[in-house]
Amino acid sequence: MIKVKNLYHSYTNDRAYAVEDISFDIGKGEIFGFLGPSGAGKSTTQKILIGLLPLQKGDVSIAGMDIRKPTEEMFNLIGVSFEQPNLYKKLTGLENLEFYRKMFSVPTEDPMKLLKMVGLEQAAKKRAGGYSKGMMQRLVFARSMLNTPKMWFLDEPTSGLDPTTASNIKEIIWQKRKEGATIFLTTHNMHIADELCDRVAFIHDGRIELIDSPRNLKLQYGEKMVQVEHRMGETFKKEYLSILEEKDRQRLNHLINQGTIETMHSQEATLEEIFIKVTGRGLK
């Protein structure tokens, strides 16, 4: 669905690249996570892909269409949910969607249906300027679905949302994937990426460090650990034991034989831990 080859971009038109030699492919119906800390080059890459920044060097195609020559057909295919609430604050939520849908030349979704999906039906006739940050975020998200995009760009879609709403948004993303949408998810939230993505790319200092599925990354980089909580007289103690190390295995056997274990969970490395391991810095 999307092919990126040797992508470079410099804001100063010199060799100080914000993104450098980025290449990846995203298959149809795949959720691809683009993970990296602030300033890593996530937004720059996404802006180039959606046409907000010019393509200086490299090749990018969406559904076989070269983004250097963007067509009406290409823009009808894509949907973008921005991180910032870029809405018309003096228009109501419904008016925002009604206005935006008229920009497309393909059949569009019913705005009220979308507002209902994101839980904004009660606020449909309220001015967007009076919305809370989370409501604005949901309206931006709903707007991005108006043209039923085949290629859907999501920039921090659950940022600023409460857990219930975030869960609802995740459900919608899964549903859209089932319906055949290809999703490019930009985030620094590793939990979201872990839950939603088929594959993730780690971007750091403008370069992609690795691309793989969260499961493979955990298998490759994670240590097989067990978290054990056991009774010691009147108190409880929590221990992390590796099942690969002989000394930890013996300790685990000992605790099992003692019969003092209260809880036991297998532990796997988080994407954030893997990111730190790969890049040497955190995602924040």
- At 59, which helix (H) or strand (E)? strand 57-62
C-alpha distances (whole Å) from 226 to each of 32, 131, 216, 218 are: 30, 45, 19, 15
Give the one residue of 2, 19, 26, 50 binding other proteins; rule: CB under 8 A.
Answer: 50
Q: Which stretch binds other proteins (CB under 8 A): 17-25, 88-96, 111-119, 238-246?
A: 88-96
Rule CB under 8 A: choose which of 9, 42, 143, 150 binds other proteins: 143
In whole angstroms, the minimum distance from the beta carbon of 89 to other proteins comes to 6
Pure H helices in 52-110 = 72-77, 93-101
Give the nearest distance from C-beta 101 to other proteins in angstroms.
9
Q: How far apart are the first and last CA of the chain?
A: 30
Tokens standing for 247?
């000394």
Q: Which of 8, 10, 29, 91 binds other proteins (CB under 8 A)?
A: 91
**What residues contact residue 84 under an 8 Å CB cut-off, 6+ apart?**
none
Q: Under the criterion CB under 8 A, does residue 87 sit at the interface with other proteins?
A: yes
How far apart are CB 98 and other proteins at their closest, in Å? 9
**Integer Cα distance of 80 and 141 in angstroms:** 8
- CB-nearer residue toward other proteins: 99 or 236: 99
If phi over 0 gives left and psi between -120 and 50 gives alpha, with beta otherwise, what is residue 232? beta
Which of 78/241 has CB closer to other proteins? 78
Site string for other proteins, 146-165 (x = CB under 8 A): -x------------------
Site for other proteins contains 100 (CB under 8 A): yes
Of the candidate spans 95-103, 196-204, 209-217, 273-281, the one that interacts with other proteins by CB under 8 A turns out to be 95-103
What does DSSP say about strands 261-267 and 225-232: parallel, antiparallel, or unpaired?
A: antiparallel
| Of the residues 28, 57, 90, 237, which one makes contact with other proteins according to CB under 8 A | 90
Could you say whether residue 84 binds other proteins (CB under 8 A)?
yes
Phi (first) and psi of residue 188, to 5 degrees: -115, 10
**Which of positions 251-270 make contact with other proteins (CB under 8 A)?**
none
Which of 16, 103, 219, 256 is close enough to bind other proteins by CB under 8 A?
A: 103
DSSP collapsed to 3 states, 128-193: HHHCCHHHHHHHHHHHCCCCCCCEEEEECCCCCCCHHHHHHHHHHHHHHHHCCCEEEEEECCHHHH
What's the min distance (Å) between Cβ of 90 and other proteins?
A: 5
| Cα dihedral value 216, 222, 223, 226, nearest 10 | -90
- The site that binds other proteins (CB under 8 A) totals a number of residues, namely 27
* Those residues with Cβ within 8 angstroms of residue 2's Cβ, 6 or more apart along the chain or in another chain: 25, 26, 49, 60, 61, 62, 63, 151, 182, 184
Query: Rule CB under 8 A: is residue 141 a binding residue for other proteins?
Result: no
Decide: is 105 part of the binding site for other proteins (CB under 8 A).
yes
Stretch touching other proteins by CB under 8 A, among 94-102, 113-121, 174-182, 247-255? 94-102
The residues binding other proteins (CB under 8 A) are 50-52, 72, 75-76, 78, 80, 82, 84, 86-91, 95, 99-100, 102-105, 127, 140, 143, 147
